[in-house]
Structure 1
């Protein structure tokens, strides 16, 4: 018997990997791609700002037994911020259509060549990835903050960091950031003016409000729902389901029945819970699955399939080992002697290189960035 597939591909998670795959796959198979995202959609102006709304702007499912404040322990929240606590590391990740692009600091920065040593696979070396960096940079609209004489575009802390770098004998340069200043890179759209971007989504030319990391309510941030996902859904008819939580992936046999002994040649059935409908279980058949639920979500889902549900028993035991978090270190300067106006402008605007791109030294390489 022939299998009646619901989709050519199912993508789990809508961060950078999931969004790009959804866009490319839906271009190949219009109307035959499904994206599953556990978080909400965030239309313009919908991100939490009041203390009351922000207090519930966290991800909490009681059955997951997260370490939450007492008042939220038994409450189900589908908020933007998901906080995970481990023995040697804490993580803040995002739940929402667009994934981490909703809360990161916009920087588009390619790693130096020296990072790609012999431990990287041949198909993930810098020369192989370079064309795709270029495509992603174009789609995400990465560019430095506009430089002109308009007083409202002056960011004091950027100048202070540049002056400090010069005094310390280092180079500071404006970083490419995924922020919308208009479609014309040479002539920025006036601050606060709305227009459609190249993909048809309405955005606002950056208002310099410094709220990039808590969700951009003016859609001045080039988040994935405004480019890759917008194209996938509106041009290639991708099906996007939000507030649905992927539960397990099961191979199917030639008759379309669940069979963990299969290796995927006949496709898969993906199960998920509809969080908007009392966690109702749903499923669909697909020829292929892309698991792109973030670093933690992907590992969790695959380990659950391997060790709990026993539906993907052949996944390597190396999954999740040799794990490393971001190398970010956050510090604050207090009682400075120069007013920095820290709450104005995109969160990050410049970077000062300390042995990362010039005179590379793995033991002490870092880049110093401003923040608001």
Structure 2
């Protein structure tokens, strides 16, 4: 149910009939002794809609006291805008307009306050001074028959604050939240208009230049950005790929606690490392930052979605059959393989045993992985997982790669380059066709060029040595947003709701968000060596996507994680003051993980896909905008619980004891590395943000190509579906 808010405001001042300019009306009003008072009642019927509307439109009613026409003249309709954008990006209007009748004639009283920072401190005068004209007729198209300036005094402002109401609020807390939300918006806008220009840091390059620097700018270099950038460069287009993260080299992969592990959206100049974890109420999201995007951190799973996924909520043009050629194309590019039968890790063998003992043997399946394996690799060799066992070669894209040594470091960067990440295929191929990749470029906003021939992309360049940000911009005829589900949603929400540069984005932007039902349940096997730190992070699955278990669709995977203790000890043995001590420890953890008795059962499920991403604002200075996730487990709980119940069952039949985390059993909290949705495909702007070609409704030449366009959970790892969609989008873009 929407929340409404109302308040009353009285403004008065000198006003004269016959004047057509407000300043002249003041002079004539003083001479004639005529004043006008507007007693207005502002109504915001849907507060959230009002805040997200770029023009911040409400309604106005009230009465007018103007002796030449009469006292207490009733106005039953009118328009109210708060911080309405103008042609000048540094100026907004507060708009007050009332329609009324007098002696059978229609009149329209229209005023606006200029919100703009000038020399000196003019906030009070700007926000309390209404430049007003009286038109004859039903709107501002008629002739001006009077003018003047109305003002709001200190007493009237005090009276205004006392009249704020939240009709229909179920509790004092609900009323307080609504007032706080409106107050944060109002104070924040004033902060942006008057404090930032005087004292704030320049975050946007102010220069005006509509020169087209590129044919296409791609924002992000993950499965959506790397693929579209590559294919469009192959078509001969001049392409620039902007990536917020670093171009990681093997020597820079994080291993030690002091390494560059963390990314922070709040402090990107200081924290611009490997992993970006965002916490929301009841949900956390894990992402990677770097050239190659999510491929740098994902578990190599490159699997096609099941046909049932496309049976509802997708545009009719997108089906499993229509995507099949693109699935095959991406599989070849990433050279997908399965774990060879002669090198199954212990956790994979446990998966097969669990399937057989649980009566699900026919549901066990090896998973296609974007990993290069050596058929001759053996677990029986001394120091089997040492880097010296890799076999280096030059791949089809001219990049040096090794073969998998089952070290378990997939999620934190493969030091032998056995993983077929995007920086080893699509991205170098794009660069070979002239594409320019710019790492450490954090995009801030997208603005249509005034000539209608493209878009301006503003960004901050991150200087990791000096811990500074420098603003810049580039223009292109087309822009592809592929910043990942969270990054793309936030960027577009800011462009619509904060900056107002893309005001016509779909009202469903941010809706339909999904965690893809991710869950991990650790199980303890006291007398068994599972060694989850050995082998590819995930190798196989037991498939229940047909809904045969408790009517829910999901699949179970073996999980894994890097042996960070071994990595830390190895690093300390090299450069620590007590290196000789840590060298001794290193020999103890070389081939055995301290967590070897744990099986991390993992999996995904088809959840309700009903999360909503919104842009909220702090109610205290500096009133920062922040993306908020409104997510409730209620409609997804049965699905996630079915996955967990299967984890428990598979543990039991294999002699393990599942330890369901208290974060779920008590708090119902989740974490996902596979966020989807928010910019979903649809048939129009009423049910989607983009069409089946990935083009944003109402914004020709602006595209989205990442997990945010997927309309619903796929119930398994989504990378290949994102990649296939990106291939299709790029194919349909005309040079």
User: Could you state the TM-score of these two structures normalised by the residue count of structure 1?
Assistant: 0.85
For 1:361 and 1:307, how far apart are their aligned partners in 2?
43
User: Structure 1 stretches of 5 or more lacking a match?
Assistant: 65-74, 255-264
Partner in structure 2 of residue 259 of structure 1? none
Decide whether the 8 Å contact of 1:146 with 1:188 is kept in 2: no
Task: Please list, as runs of the form range in 1=range in 2, the aligned pairs for 1:223-372 lying within 5 A after superposition.
Answer: 223-233=421-431, 235-254=432-451, 265-276=452-463, 278-354=468-544, 356=545, 358=546, 363-372=551-560
Structure 1 residues 280 and 359, CA, compared in 2 at 3 Å: closer, same or farther? closer
Q: Residue 400 of structure 2 is aligned with which of 197, 202, 215? A: 202
Partner in structure 1 of residue 51 of structure 2? none
- 1:123, CA displacement in angstroms? 2.5
- 1:61, CA displacement in angstroms? 4.7
SS in 2 for 1:273: strand
Task: Please list, as runs of the form range in 1=range in 2, the aligned pairs for 1:22-33 lying within 5 A after superposition.
Answer: 22-29=229-236, 32-33=238-239
For 1:174 and 1:275, how far apart are their aligned partners in 2?
41
For 2:514 and 2:549, how far apart are their aligned partners in 1?
19
Partner in structure 2 of residue 42 of structure 1? 248
Which has the greater radius of gyration?
2
Q: Residue 372 of structure 2 is aligned with which of 169, 172, 180? A: 180
Structure 1 residues 78 and 359, CA, compared in 2 at 3 Å: closer, same or farther? closer
- 1:347, CA displacement in angstroms? 0.7
Bigger relative contact order, structure 1 or 2 (CA pairs below 8 A, ≥6 apart): 1
Decide whether the 8 Å contact of 1:93 with 1:100 is kept in 2: yes
Deviations 1:230-271 (A, max 9, x none): 1101x21210000110011111133xxxxxxxxxx4111111
Partner in structure 2 of residue 160 of structure 1? 350
Decide whether the 8 Å contact of 1:46 with 1:217 is kept in 2: no
- 1:169 pairs with 2:359: yes
Task: Please list, as runs of the form range in 1=range in 2, the aligned pairs for 1:50-129 lying within 5 A after superposition.
Answer: 50-53=256-259, 56-62=260-266, 76-129=270-323
Partner in structure 2 of residue 69 of structure 1? none
Partner in structure 2 of residue 258 of structure 1? none
Structure 1 residues 216 and 114, CA, compared in 2 at 3 Å: closer, same or farther? same
Partner in structure 2 of residue 68 of structure 1? none
For 2:312 and 2:495, how far apart are their aligned partners in 1?
31
Aligned length: 337
For 2:306 and 2:358, how far apart are their aligned partners in 1?
22
Decide whether the 8 Å contact of 1:194 with 1:202 is kept in 2: yes
For 1:309 and 1:80, how far apart are their aligned partners in 2?
29
SS in 2 for 1:338: coil
CA RMSD in angstroms comes to 2.1
- 1:44, CA displacement in angstroms? 2.4
Q: Residue 16 of structure 1 is aligned with which of 223, 226, 234? A: 223
Structure 1 residues 81 and 174, CA, compared in 2 at 3 Å: closer, same or farther? same
SS in 1 for 2:247: coil
For 1:105 and 1:169, how far apart are their aligned partners in 2?
27
User: Could you state the TM-score of these two structures normalised by the residue count of structure 2?
Assistant: 0.44
Deviations 1:274-297 (A, max 9, x none): 112731111111100000000010
Structure 1 residues 361 and 126, CA, compared in 2 at 3 Å: closer, same or farther? farther
Task: Please list, as runs of the form range in 1=range in 2, the aligned pairs for 1:206-221 lying within 5 A after superposition.
Answer: 206-221=404-419
Q: Which has the higher strand share?
A: 2
For 1:77 and 1:59, how far apart are their aligned partners in 2?
5
Decide whether the 8 Å contact of 1:8 with 1:29 is kept in 2: no
Decide whether the 8 Å contact of 2:541 with 2:558 is kept in 1: yes
